[in-house]
């Protein structure tokens, strides 16, 4: 184990011992992943990353609108909306893309080592974050005031850590092992120190790893069952309650329990994505985001375009939900499964004038973290 990995393992152990990290030490931390084989297709990783960026860009021009209001304004959104004075309909980033690809860029700069202090500085020093959430702003304020990164993350069950977690797995493709879980937990709790958030980041990292190898889409029931199996012992008995709507006061328990109960019911009733998300809501609170993401994938993971379209049109926090859904279907279907018009229309920006940066970072990640020549 090299120096940075040894340090991360020590930090995480101390955080568990002092209960400074809001997370139970579940079985996943001892689960050793096998490395990806020589026939692994990096197109899957490219799809995962592009899916995240495209979902964000398709959604962020109509973020936080009620789905019915959005439909009245735009009809069904299946392509980028016009958003600048040139009248061009292109894909531009918000915080989902920026934080995801700043994470990837820092991993590249650090040669695949996850150095939390470096990532915290990256977030703090990279310039304007478009549509920054309250929790992320709270983290930046604390970190810039001099607090260490591991004490700067607010206690928040928002979706801001989950939306940027996908790149963490990439440096581990060739080696597998268990360090991926330490990296994921530390990256997540840095900005959102909460049981539901960090456990969901760990569960989704594991699920993305598995999706990268799948030859066909999993059975619909796999999505909530796999999430619950991974997250249960990480979440413990920490309770979360719906914050509004018809489910308010109807549940108080761990997130994995909510997912297991409500998704099985909704799928059994054959509810559409919009119908289900109207019931449990689909904002940035993880009791809304996680079931919304998983239900979209239950119903539409076999069709990556439709999965992302449903996330964009049928949810409130549609850029983040579409970004997470996009990462999942991109990992499952690869870049070749994403509509070419969406890839062609993506500016690839992370800032105001760095067009193409997203694409160059994906190519650099392929060169640094993989040795095959099958990237398209």
Q: What are phi and psi of 297, to 5 degrees?
A: -70, -35
Question: Quick check: 159 and 194 in contact, CB under 8 A?
Answer: no
Reduce the DSSP state of residue 103 to 3 states and report it.
helix
Q: What are phi and psi of 267, to 5 degrees?
A: -70, -40
Who's near 355: CB < 8 A, 6+ residues apart? 347, 348, 349
Longest dimension (CA), the chain: 56
Q: What are phi and psi of 33, to 5 degrees?
A: -80, 140
The shares of helix, strand and coil residues in the chain, as percent rounded to the nearest 5, are 60, 0, 35
Residue 183 annotated as binding site:
no
Residue 253: beta bridge partners? 240
Residue 84 annotated as binding site:
no
Question: Quick check: 213 and 68 in contact, CB under 8 A?
Answer: no
Q: What is the DSSP letter of 285?
A: B
Residue 95 annotated as binding site:
yes
Residue spans of alpha helices (H) in 126-241? 134-144, 179-191, 195-211, 222-235
Residue 56 annotated as binding site:
no
**CB-CB neighbours of 157 under 10 Å:** 23
In terms of C-beta distances under 8 Å and separation of at least 24 residues, what long-range contacts does 348-354 make, across chains too? 348/53, 349/92, 349/93, 350/93, 350/97, 350/98, 350/101, 350/102, 350/126, 351/98, 351/126, 351/127, 351/128, 352/128
Residue 233 annotated as binding site:
no
Question: What is the enclosing helix (H) or strand (E) of 11?
Answer: helix 3-17
Question: Quick check: 333 and 47 in contact, CB under 8 A?
Answer: yes
Residue 320 annotated as binding site:
yes
| Residues annotated within a binding site | 94-96, 317, 319-320
| Residues annotated within a binding site for Mg(2+) | 94-96, 317, 319-320
């Amino acid at each position: 184990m090299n120096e940075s990995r040894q340090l991360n393992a020590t930090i995480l152990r101390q955080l568990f011992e002092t209960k400074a990290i809001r997370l139970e030490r579940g079985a996943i931390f001892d689960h050793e992943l096998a490395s990806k084989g020589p026939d692994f297709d990096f197109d899957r990783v490219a799809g995962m990353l592009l899916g995240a960026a495209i979902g964000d860009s398709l959604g962020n021009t109509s973020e936080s609108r009620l789905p019915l209001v959005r439909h009245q304004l735009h009809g069904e959104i299946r392509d980028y909306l016009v958003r600048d004075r040139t009248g061009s309909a292109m894909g531009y980033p918000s915080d989902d893309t920026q934080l995801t690809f700043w994470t990837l860029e820092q991993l590249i700069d650090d040669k695949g080592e996850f150095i939390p202090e470096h990532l915290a500085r990256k977030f703090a020093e990279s310039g304007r974050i478009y549509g920054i959430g309250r929790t992320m702003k709270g983290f930046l304020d604390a970190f810039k005031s001099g607090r260490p990164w591991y004490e700067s993350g607010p206690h928040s069950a928002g979706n801001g850590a989950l939306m940027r977690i996908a790149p963490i797995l990439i440096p581990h493709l060739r080696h597998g092992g268990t360090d991926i879980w330490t990296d994921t937990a530390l990256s997540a709790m840095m900005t959102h120190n909460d049981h539901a958030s960090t456990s969901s980041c760990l569960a989704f990292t594991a699920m993305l790893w598995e999706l990268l190898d799948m030859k066909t889409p999993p059975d619909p029931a796999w999505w909530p069952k796999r999430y619950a199996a991974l997250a249960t012992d990480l979440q413990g008995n920490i309770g979360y309650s719906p914050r509004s709507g018809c489910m308010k006061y109807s549940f108080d328990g761990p997130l994995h329990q909510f997912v297991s109960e409500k998704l099985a019911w909704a799928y059994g009733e054959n509810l559409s994505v919009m119908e289900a998300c109207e019931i449990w809501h689909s904002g940035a609170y993880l009791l809304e985001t996680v079931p919304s993401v998983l239900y979209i994938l239950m119903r539409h993971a076999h069709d990556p375009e439709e999965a992302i379209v449903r996330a964009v049109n049928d949810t409130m926090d549609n850029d983040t939900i579409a970004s997470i859904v996009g990462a999942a279907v991109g990992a499952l279907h690869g870049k070749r499964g994403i509509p070419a018009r969406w890839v062609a229309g993506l500016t690839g920006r992370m800032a105001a004038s760095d067009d193409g940066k997203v694409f160059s970072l994906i190519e650099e990640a392929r060169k640094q973290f993989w040795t095959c020549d099958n990237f398209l």
